[in-house]
A and B are shown apart, each in its own frame.
Chain A
Amino acid sequence: MFVARSIAADHKDLIHDVSYDFHGRRMATCSSDQSVKVWDKSENGEWHCTASWKTHSGSVWRVTWAHPEFGQVLASCSFDRTAAVWEEIVGESNDKQRGLSHWIKRTTLVDSRTSVTDVKFAPKHMGLMLTTCSADGVVRIYEAPDVMNLSQWSLQHEISCKLSCSCISWNPSSSRAHPPMFAVGSDDSNVAYGGKVQIYEYNENTRKYAKAETLMTVTDAVHDIAFAPNLGRSFHVLAIATKDVRIFKLAPMRKESTSTGPTKFEVQIVAQFDNHNSQVWRVSWNITSTLLASSGDDGCVRLWKANYMDNWKCTGILKGDGSPLTGSSGQPTAMSTVVGSSVQASQSALNGMSAGRYFFPPLDPPRAGTRYGHLLPPSSLIENCDVEPIQPQQQVLPHRLSSRALLPLPEAEGQ
């Protein structure tokens, strides 16, 4: 991993959320400066701000894109107790030439009486639906019945969760076997109030959302929650940011044909990581859910990956260095750590664009003490791995260190 470029966001206050559009060619940022900015990626990969406007009268917590089937549509939510829907209109041609776009407010959703903490569009197969949750513990589901008229949104469902809500996530599965379902997390820190993650499922018969499950083991404040793409599986995978990172598996139990109640789930924890050693604030999956990223009070973003044996491990860390950045864009800084024993010097020049994390450089005498970093990096292939919490992997340094000529493992010494 390397920092490919840095973008001067130019917000006048804290950035709260950054969101990619579906194709990854645009992004939106929102900030305490009450504005939202839209950025477009040019051919050469540079980001250009094409719109920036004041959206709310308070900090903007989240910004999110609708699926492009519905056009270019954004939703934002704010401390000012509202959520808003924005649509890009195709403007004058000279605006395009100047690289600007126009966004107009289509609606303001004012039903909440407290700060709106999260806003998410429902999966596209459900139509154009928007969900908000707020600090007063209410989840609201709105629908735009006419996708060509985004100024009309009707409040379809209002679900009281009884606890201050901080985050929502829709189950993205479009399988007919899975009724619409979302999870909502609460940041109420009182452990006595029980489970902080609730799962709601749509019931065809009552046409209402009903609580299907509460994750009773998650009693601490929950800050973020994310369903993984389904991959055609029968069960669902949910990542939770609380005092640690947790991954749950929710397997629907077989329903009796006469039963009309919500699906019951067999809840199983797949992984739990306390590496952040602190509160975790965000969790998010990549497109194919092979990687989970989390961000915590330790100031780091950590990447988690399952190997082919379904064992989860940390495979990468991003952290700030605390130093001010001067330029607005940088050369790729390849992270090439070097050690090896045997390739000719003439061919060993380090080069950012050549391959690896580990180069095989000249006849440098190998340095003891540097080696574990190289021998024990994040293999997603390493099989046996204790999941909670993960242990340093030592088994990859196997029998081949048996020779007494070699240094013993420092880890082994420490044990």
Chain B
Amino acid sequence: MEEVDVEPPVTVSTGSAAGKHLGFAWGPGDILVYETLYKASGMCSPFIHEVRKDEDIYSPILRKLFNESHHIFVGLQTIREDLPSKNKKPQFVSISKNYRSVIRACMEELQQVAGVSILLAIELIWNLCEVLFIDAAPAGSLLLHLLDWVRLHKADVDEKARDVLQSESPAEHESYWDVVLGYVLQGRLEEARQMLVKQASLHPAARNMFKLMDTLLSKMPFYNPSGTQTLTEFDVKWRHWHEEVDRCLQDNSFASNQHLEAICKILVGDEDTLLEHKDLLSTWYHFLVTRLLFCHPTVKPTELHYYAQSCLTMFLDSRSAPEPLDSILLAAFEFDIHQVIKDCSIALNNWWFVAHLTDLLDHCKLLQSHNLHFGSNLREFLLLEYASGLFTHHSLWQLAVDYFDHCPEFGRVYLELQIERVPLDTERKALKVLRICEQRQMSEQVRSICKIMAMRALRNNRLGSALSWSIRAKDAAFATLISERFLQDYCAKGTFSDLDLIDNLGPAMLLSDRLTFLGKYREFHKLYGEKRFREAAKLLLSLMTAKIAPRSFWMTLLTDALPLLEQKEVSFQDTFDLQKHTCVSLQEEDIEVTKVELLRLALARNLAMAIVKEGTVEA
């Protein structure tokens, strides 16, 4: 009774029998499951099982499907809304065909690996939806499209025909009549006639009979939608031909050849005969199309469901029940789009098909949306599911971004939640993620990514990288912390690392006081190195007087000032200021006495020099 609606349980191997619990943890694309006991302690299986939700995402061949359909999807989103719907229809049909050709390309690749059947089913359903919903062919053309549909998906006639024709004596090949009948059942009458010629030449006595059949086949009218003939005219012509075939049957014209007789019965649309060839038809929908071809060639879209239902019932014997594919196709014939999508989401494990088909049908304005407070409409729901699946993949997640972008209601929130979980394995990948966030003004994600990268760089002692990431994150506190590290490093080693970065801070320097100081202090070193002592001295002094310099660093600064004080061209007109600062720092910290003595001496000498100089100028 329980859970008839649930996918079969996944079993994980555990060491012991009943009474144990399973614990679990959600990951980005999987769940970790382990055995545990919530009530007491005891021994349990020591294994943790990684259970994945979506296996398709990891298929290398389906990757192609995901990648290429992404382009088509993006193209579809850019079709202008304001075009008159008449102009849009051919575009939608061509987009639909593009999707199908991607599926076909994948199938061809998969053929070598086997396991193509799900794609085959997908393409079959899609093609039918294209005929019925997107192209929406009217009576007359409808049957022609359906014939194409059946021919495309029942291609084994051609394979058999090849075998037969390549044999030494085609007309005596065991599959010969299967091929002829196969052609007739698909309305490929020209090819059937060509095959029949081979048989006719073997039976000169029955020449007239073959001739008659050839005439019947060649005269069968087909509707030409681009011609001048009206549907009524075609109908009259077709009825005329049908009566002629019927007459031949009544006359027993083909009684002496059971094969020709069978063909004739098929042409007249005899249901029993058709059903005798179930193995050649192989599916109820082939039966349906053949039956329409020979009984109701002018079927209207609205009548389809009646024939579809009865063909399904007639075709499947009493023991068998319809399968998911049957229900889906039947729903399509009933023009129940919603049911098609629902059944497909149930029967197919992946969201690729339903998401893309629904999106296309929605663009064709074929879906009424189902608005509700929690989810958005059906299209968005399916696209979100599909894109979330892509996000669990290490490279496909980039495709998902565009899908989220085209989900107006929850797309952005989903993207925000998913993108911050993308592992930032390398700086390059981090920059890629960052760019996506920046383009979408996702400021919190931008900040967080930069912060994570800054933290990681700092932990690995890559100060330059840490500083540039925190500047990017506009994280003042962290920038202060890293600047501090730079200064500490300088105090310890007497040199700066990452000069390029510090030299080119520019306005970013203003992010934090400490960073400003770091930048300016480095500038001082540069001036000093260039022997521009006067400017260097000025800068040094301003750093101290403007109180940007951290107190703890003053002693270093004063020591740096030492050689400047001795320079001839530098006279500290503000030596007093400097002295004042020295006094302050001396009061507050205990510093090596020799250093202080040196400082005092230098200051005094400088002061003396300044006084002498000034006095000289005045005199």
Hey, which bits of chain A sit against chain B, CB under 8 A?
1-11, 13-20, 22-25, 27, 29, 32, 47, 59, 68-72, 89-90, 124, 148, 174, 223, 229, 231-232, 275, 279, 281-282, 284-288, 290-291, 293, 295-297, 299-301, 306-310, 313-325, 328, 332, 334-335, 337, 339-344, 347-361, 363, 365-366, 368, 371-382, 390, 392-393, 396, 398, 400-403, 405-407, 411
**Of A14, A301, A324, A365, which is within 8 A of B31 by CB?**
A301
- B6-14, B255-263, B492-500, B558-566 - the one binding chain A: B6-14
Given contacts A318-B33, A341-B320, A366-B321, contact A377 B7 (CB under 8 A): yes
Question: Which chain B residues numbered 160 to 213 have a C-beta less than 8 Å away from chain A?
Answer: none
CB distance from B61 to the nearest CB of A (A): 8
- Interfacial chain B residues near A322, Cβ < 8 Å: 14, 16-18
B423: min CB distance to chain A, Å: 4
27 CB contacts below 8 A, A to B, read A6-B48, A6-B50, A15-B35, A24-B27, A24-B421, A71-B456, A282-B24, A290-B385, A318-B33, A319-B11, A335-B8, A349-B114, A349-B115, A356-B118, A357-B347, A366-B322, A368-B319, A371-B321, A373-B4, A375-B324, A376-B4, A378-B6, A379-B5, A382-B5, A396-B346, A398-B339, A405-B316
Contacts of B339 in A (CB 8 A): 398
User: Once bound together, how far apart are the Cα atoms of A281 and B324, in whole Å?
Assistant: 36
Task: A133 to B432: give the CA distance in the assembly, Å.
Answer: 40
**A353-B7 in contact given A69-B448, A284-B25 (Cβ < 8 Å):** no
Interface flag for B52 (CB, 8 Å): yes
**CB within 8 Å for A232 and B51 given contacts A299-B18, A366-B323, A400-B322:** no
Q: B7: which A residues are within 8 A, CB to CB?
A: 1, 315-317, 335, 357, 377-378
Do residues B24 and A301 form an inter-chain contact, with CB atoms below 8 A? yes
> A282-B24, A295-B24, A320-B14 given as contacts; is B423 within 8 A of A353 (CB)?
no
For the complex formed, measure the closest distance between the CB of A183 and the CB atoms of chain B, giving whole angstroms: 18
Interface string of B46-66 (1 = CB under 8 A from A): 111111110110110110000
The 3 closest A-B pairs by CB, nearest first: A351-B115, A320-B14, A354-B115
Q: Chain A residues near B3 (CB, 8 Å)?
A: 275, 314, 317, 392
Known: A6-B13, A309-B372, A403-B313. A392 touches B47 (CB 8 A): no
Establish whether residues B375 and A363, one from each chain, have CB atoms under 8 Å apart when the complex forms.
no
Residue B593 at the A interface, CB < 8 A? no
Apart from A229-B417, A287-B417, A342-B282, what 13 extra A-B contacts exist at CB < 8 Å? A17-B25, A25-B425, A71-B456, A308-B377, A335-B10, A343-B121, A347-B114, A347-B117, A356-B118, A357-B349, A360-B117, A366-B323, A382-B342
Measured CA separation A313–B4 after assembly (Å): 11
Contact at A343–B120, with CB atoms within 8 Å? yes
With a CB–CB cut-off of 8 A, which chain B residues contact A11? 46
Taking the nearest CB of chain B, how far is it from the CB of A340, in angstroms?
5
Residues of chain A contacted by B14 (CB below 8 angstroms): 320-323, 325
Closest residue to A334 on the B side, CB-wise?
B55
A285 to B420, CA, bound (A): 17
Contact with A along B446-488 (1 / 0, CB 8 A): 0010011001100111000000000000000000010000000
**Are B48 and A2 touching (Cβ within 8 A)?**
no
Partner of B459, one of A7, A72, A223, A355: A72
Give the one of B55, B330, B342, B425 with max A CB within 10 A. B55
User: Once the chains bind, are B35 and A342 in contact (CB under 8 Å)?
Assistant: no
Residues in A whose Cβ lies below 8 Å from that of B26? 20, 284-287, 291, 293
Binds A, one of B37-45, B233-241, B503-511: B37-45
Q: For the complex, give the distance between the alpha carbons of A316 and B8 in Å.
A: 7
Question: Which residues does chain B contribute within 8 Å of A27, judged by CB atoms?
Answer: 25, 27, 32
Q: Contact flags (1/0) for B295-319 with A, using CB distance below 8 Å? A: 0000000000000010011001111
**Bound Cα distance from A284 to B26, whole angstroms:** 7
Q: Which partner residue on chain A sits nearest B24 by CB separation? A: A301
Residues of B within 8 Å of A47, CB to CB, are 50
Q: A69-B455, A288-B417, A316-B10 are in contact. Are A347 and B116 (CB under 8 A)?
A: yes
**CA of A286 to CA of B421, assembled, Å:** 12
Closest to A88 in B: B459
Q: Which residues of A contact B335 (CB under 8 A)?
A: none
With CB as the reference atom, state the residue of chain A lying closest to B473. A69
Q: Are A374 and B324 in contact (CB under 8 A)?
A: yes
Question: Is residue B158 within 8 Å, beta carbon to beta carbon, of the partner chain?
Answer: no
CA distance A272 to B223 in the complex (A): 59
| In contact, B48 and A9 (Cβ under 8 angstroms) | yes
Give the Cβ gap from A209 to chain B, nearest Cβ, in Å: 25
Could you tell me if A310 and B342 are in contact, using CB atoms closer than 8 angstroms? no
Closest CB of chain B to A33's CB: distance in Å? 10
Please determine whether A354 and B116 come into contact, CB atoms closer than 8 angstroms. yes
**A146 to B18 CA separation, bound complex (whole angstroms):** 48
Given the interface pairs A371-B321, A378-B7, the reply to whether A307 lies near B459 with Cβ below 8 Å is no
User: Digit string of B380-422 for contact with A (CB within 8 Å is 1, else 0)?
Assistant: 0100110010000000000000000000001001100110111
The answer for the CA separation of A146 and B418 in the assembled complex, in Å, is 29
Check A403/B23 contact, CB under 8 A, given A9-B46, A324-B45, A411-B4: no
In the complex, chain B residues whose CB is within 8 Å of the CB of A310: 372-375
How distant is A29 from chain B, measured CB to nearest CB, in Å? 7
Option from B5, B13, B27 in Cβ contact (under 8 Å) with A325 = B13
Size of the chain B interface, CB-CB below 8 angstroms: 133
Q: Point out the residues of chain A lying under 8 angstroms from B313, CB to CB.
A: 403, 405-406
- What CA separation (Å) do A324 and B44 show in the bound complex? 11
What residues on A are CB-neighbors of B231 within 8 Å?
A: none
The residue on A at minimum CB distance from B422 is A23
Closest to A349 in B: B114
Q: Is B36 part of the binding interface, using a Cβ–Cβ cutoff of 8 Å? A: yes
Tell whether, in the assembled complex, residue B349 and residue A355 are in contact, meaning their CB atoms are under 8 Å apart. yes
Nearest neighbor of A356 in chain B, beta-carbon distance:
B349
Nearest B residue (CB) for A296: B21
B467 to chain A: closest CB distance in Å?
A: 15
B326 contacts A341, C-beta separation under 8 Å: yes
Tell yes or no: B585 within 8 A of A by CB. Answer: no
A341 touching B283, Cβ below 8 Å: yes
Min Cβ gap A351→B in Å is 3
Q: Are the C-beta atoms of A392 and B4 separated by less than 8 Å?
A: yes
Q: How far apart sit A343 and B116, CA to CA, in the bound complex (Å)?
A: 10
- B41/A32 in contact, CB under 8 A: yes
Q: B32 near A18 (CB under 8 angstroms)?
A: yes
Please give, as numbers and ranges, the residues of chain B lying within 8 Å of A352 by CB-CB distance: 55
Contact A355 B350, CB 8 Å, known A1-B53, A71-B459, A309-B372: yes
Complex CA gap A375/B323 in Å reads: 8
Cβ proximity bits B326-368 to A, threshold 8 Å, 1 near / 0 not: 1100110000000101110111111000000000000000000
Distance of A138 from chain B, by nearest CB (Å): 22
Q: Is B376 an interface residue (CB 8 A)?
A: yes
A18 and B17 CA atoms in complex are apart in Å by 21
A275 touches B24 (CB 8 A): no
Q: Which residue in A13, A18, A323, A380 is a CB contact (below 8 Å) of B23?
A: A18
B602 at interface, CB cutoff 8 A: no
B535 lies within 8 A of chain A by Cβ: no
| Residue in A closest to B461 when the chains form the complex, CB atoms | A90
Query: B536 at the A/B interface (Cβ < 8 Å)?
Result: no
Q: With A351-B115, A405-B318, A406-B321 as known contacts, state yes or no: A295 contacts B283, CB within 8 Å.
A: no
**Is B444 part of the binding interface, using a Cβ–Cβ cutoff of 8 Å?**
yes
Do A353 and B58 touch across chains, with their CB atoms under 8 A apart? Answer: yes
Chain B residues, CB < 8 A from A347: 111, 114, 116-117, 120
Is B275 part of the binding interface, using a Cβ–Cβ cutoff of 8 Å?
Answer: no
Q: Which one, A309, A317, A359, contacts B117 given CB within 8 A? A: A359
* Residue B548 at the chain A interface, CB threshold 8 Å: no
Kindly state whether residue B577 has any CB partner on chain A within 8 Å: no
Tell me whether B49 and A3 are in contact (CB under 8 A). Answer: yes
Q: Does B612 belong to the interface (CB within 8 Å)?
A: no
Instruction: Judge whether B609 is part of the interface by a CB distance below 8 angstroms.
Output: no
Flag if A6 contacts B325 (CB, 8 Å).
no
B617 at the interface (CB under 8 A from A): no
Query: Is B83 on the interface with A (CB-CB < 8 A)?
Result: no
Contact present for A320 and B22 (CB under 8 Å): yes
